[in-house]
């Protein structure tokens, strides 16, 4: 397993993260356990801040969908990044954490009227408008509340990023954004310019996630700037902001070769500035919306191994106390992960096994064919790079409570998400009176 961030193997032969022994963490907080390496998370934020803001006067906006909690909002605010939220729930989290609202970018292809109203009340910095339906509602609500909404139009650049089909977003056949190629984008841009109580500030696109080729970004910048030039010729309007979305890939397993944050920044910013010069446009502020490349490598999940079942000549199944409930990515996208035994980290990984989750579903497999030192019940399995789209996509299938999350740094470990209890699972359950009445009747009848 690649050691990410502050991970190391300590003198006990145990995995250590943020100066904390992973075996001790498992004992202290129980498993499954999400462990977030604060120094790694902050380091990734800082690399974005330096590469985009200090070097080029741009802005990196953290994509909250990858991992958002109150504590995360505090870190993002401290590190000077913006925050991309995609729902009333994420917005509420940011507000409760007192995140500076002028740095919030509100996304979503079907924001409800209630969500838009809440965002206006909270003075959200920018509305990433996805369609004309939303534009009309936003204009009406802004008028009612006597405000002007800052609008960025989300466009579909027609770029197909090389990534899993389900996480591709830039192609024309997408539920997101306004298509450039067929004129829809330009038409809506003109409409936005004449719409009351909105100020059209810029343009946005996002081509997909877990992208390894910087050429895809270069090409996207070309498509977006060509569109900006066309809009400028037709209307005299030029974008103050150009947001090229997120998507930078990370290392999960062998074969993944991510590009550096710095190379990514240089590619997109150089391209936009060069094209602005060529088209005679004022250079827009360049924004990106990284999520996975900030939170992903900073997270790990600790599990306790339980049942080990060998089917001779076929496969050895090693079951852990979590699975698709805390990490649905392997089941959804055939995502690959690496792992090691945190309590036996120096032992030779000599046995080929497959890691199964505990959900009642055959598809609940975390890792197929991984080499580990013959796993035994009670061993602690650490899966790396689980910081993005794990907790945020977790679920209670089979009424499994969701794990706790600890933030580790310099030998300190603090809970930032408490473990769900069985009673938490019942919190929203209700029994209608008529069922209780029936129970009484049945008792009487007996
Ligand atoms: N901006 C927009 C508009 C997005 O749609 C996304 C991701 C991002 C930024 C952040 O992209 P990132 O830097 O994290 O790649 N659940 C899937 C990924 C879905 C991506 C959704 N949009 C997964 O687990 O791989």
In SS3 terms, 196-261 reads as: CCEEEEEEECCCECCECCHHHHHHHHHHHHHHHHHHHHHHCCCCCEEECCCCECCCCCCCCCCCCH
The residue length of the chain stands at 446
Contact 38, 75 (CB under 8 A): yes
Mark out the alpha helices in 288-432 (DSSP H runs). Answer: 292-295, 329-333, 422-426
Q: What is the pLDDT of residues 259-314, one digit of tens each?
A: 999 999 999 999 999 999 999 999 999 999 999 999 999 999 999 999 999 999 99
Average pLDDT score over residue span 198-205? 98
Query: Which ligand 1 atom is at minimum distance from the Cα of 295?
Result: 14
Give percent of the chain with pLDDT exceeding 90.
93
Does ligand 1 come within 6 angstroms of the Cβ of 220? no
Query: What is the band of 165 on the pLDDT scale with cuts at 50, 70, 90?
Result: low
pLDDT confidence of residue 172: 84
Query: Which ligand 1 atom is at minimum distance from the Cα of 164?
Result: 25
Q: What is the pLDDT of residues 219-243, one digit of tens each?
A: 999 999 999 999 999 999 999 999 9
Does ligand 1 come within 6 angstroms of the Cβ of 3? no
Average pLDDT score over residue span 366-384? 98
Protein residue with least CA distance to atom 18, ligand 1: 167
CA of 54 relative to ligand 1 center, distance in Å: 25
Average pLDDT score over residue span 151-155? 98
Contact 79, 42 (CB under 8 A): yes
Would you say residue 171 has pLDDT above 90? no
Query: Which ligand 1 atom is at minimum distance from the Cα of 290?
Result: 13
Does ligand 1 come within 6 angstroms of the Cβ of 290? yes
How do strand 241-243 and strand 285-288 relate by DSSP bridges? Answer: parallel
Query: Which ligand 1 atom is at minimum distance from the Cα of 66?
Result: 14
pLDDT confidence of residue 56: 86
Does ligand 1 come within 6 angstroms of the Cβ of 289? yes
pLDDT confidence of residue 7: 98
Query: What is the band of 173 on the pLDDT scale with cuts at 50, 70, 90?
Result: confident
pLDDT confidence of residue 161: 74
Would you say residue 164 has pLDDT above 70? no
CA of 306 relative to ligand 1 center, distance in Å: 33
Contact 381, 320 (CB under 8 A): yes
CA of 131 relative to ligand 1 center, distance in Å: 19
- Read off the pTM: 0.96
CA of 343 relative to ligand 1 center, distance in Å: 33
Rounded-to-integer distance, Cα 296 and Cα 210, Å: 11
pLDDT confidence of residue 160: 75
Does ligand 1 come within 6 angstroms of the Cβ of 227? no
pLDDT confidence of residue 398: 98
Query: Which ligand 1 atom is at minimum distance from the Cα of 128?
Result: 3
Q: Which two tokens stand for residue 80?
A: 């000077």
Cα–chain center distance at 426: 28
Average pLDDT score over residue span 182-186? 96
Does ligand 1 come within 6 angstroms of the Cβ of 219? no
Protein residue with least CA distance to atom 15, ligand 1: 247
pLDDT confidence of residue 444: 72
Query: What is the band of 20 on the pLDDT scale with cuts at 50, 70, 90?
Result: very high
Q: Which residues are catalytic?
A: 360
Hey, what's the torsion of the CAs at 414, 419, 424, 428, to 10 degrees? 80
CA of 96 relative to ligand 1 center, distance in Å: 23
Does ligand 1 come within 6 angstroms of the Cβ of 291? yes
pLDDT confidence of residue 163: 60
Q: Roughly how many angstroms between the first and final C-alpha of the chain, as a whole number?
A: 62
Does ligand 1 come within 6 angstroms of the Cβ of 32? no
Give the chain's mean pLDDT: 96
Peptide bond between residue 402 and the one before it cis (omega within 30 degrees of 0): no
């Amino acid at each position: 397993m690649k050691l990410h961030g502050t991970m190391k193997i300590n003198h006990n032969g145990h995995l250590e993260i943020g100066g904390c022994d992973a075996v001790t963490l498992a004992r202290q907080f129980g498993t499954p356990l999400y462990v977030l390496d604060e120094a790694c998370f902050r380091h990734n934020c800082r690399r974005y801040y330096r590469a985009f803001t200090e070097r080029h006067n741009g802005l990196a906006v953290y994509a909250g969908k990858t991992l958002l909690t109150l504590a995360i909002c505090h870190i993002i605010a401290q590190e000077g990044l913006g925050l991309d939220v995609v729902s009333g729930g994420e917005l509420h989290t940011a507000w409760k954490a007192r995140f500076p609202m002028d740095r919030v970018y509100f996304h979503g292809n079907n924001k409800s009227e209630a969500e838009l109203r809440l965002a206006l009340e909270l003075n959200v910095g920018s509305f990433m408008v996805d369609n004309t339906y939303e534009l009309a509602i936003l204009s009406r609500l802004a008028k009612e509340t006597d405000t002007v909404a800052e609008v960025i139009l989300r466009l579909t650049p027609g770029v197909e990023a090389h990534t899993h089909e389900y996480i591709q977003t830039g192609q024309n056949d997408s539920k997101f954004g306004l298509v450039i190629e067929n004129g829809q984008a330009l038409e809506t841009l003109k409409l936005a310019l004449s719409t009351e109580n909105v100020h059209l500030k810029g343009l946005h696109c996002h081509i997909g996630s877990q992208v390894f080729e910087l050429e895809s970004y270069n090409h996207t910048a070309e498509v977006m700037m060509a569109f900006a030039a066309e809009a400028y010729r037709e209307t005299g309007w030029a974008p103050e902001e150009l947001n090229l979305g997120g998507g930078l890939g990370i290392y999960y397993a062998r074969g993944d070769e991510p590009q550096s944050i710095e190379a990514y920044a240089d590619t997109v910013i150089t391209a936009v500035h060069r094209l602005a010069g060529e088209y005679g446009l004022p250079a827009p502020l360049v924004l990106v919306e990284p999520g996975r490349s900030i939170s992903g490598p900073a997270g790990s999940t600790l599990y306790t191994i339980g049942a080990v079942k060998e089917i001779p000549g076929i496969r050895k199944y090693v079951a852990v106390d979590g699975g698709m409930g805390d990490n649905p990515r392997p089941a959804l996208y055939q995502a690959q992960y690496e792992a090691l035994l945190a309590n036996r980290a120096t032992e030779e990984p000599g046995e080929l096994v497959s890691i199964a989750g505990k959900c009642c579903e055959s598809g609940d497999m975390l890792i197929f064919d991984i080499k580990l030192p013959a796993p035994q019940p009670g061993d602690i399995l650490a899966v790396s790079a689980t910081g993005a789209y794990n907790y945020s996509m977790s679920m209670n299938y089979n009424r499994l409570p969701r794990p706790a999350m600890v933030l580790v740094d310099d030998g300190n470990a603090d809970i930032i998400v408490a473990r769900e209890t069985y009673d938490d699972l019942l919190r929203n359950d209700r029994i209608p009176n008529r069922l209780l009445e029936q129970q009484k009747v049945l008792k009487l009848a007996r």
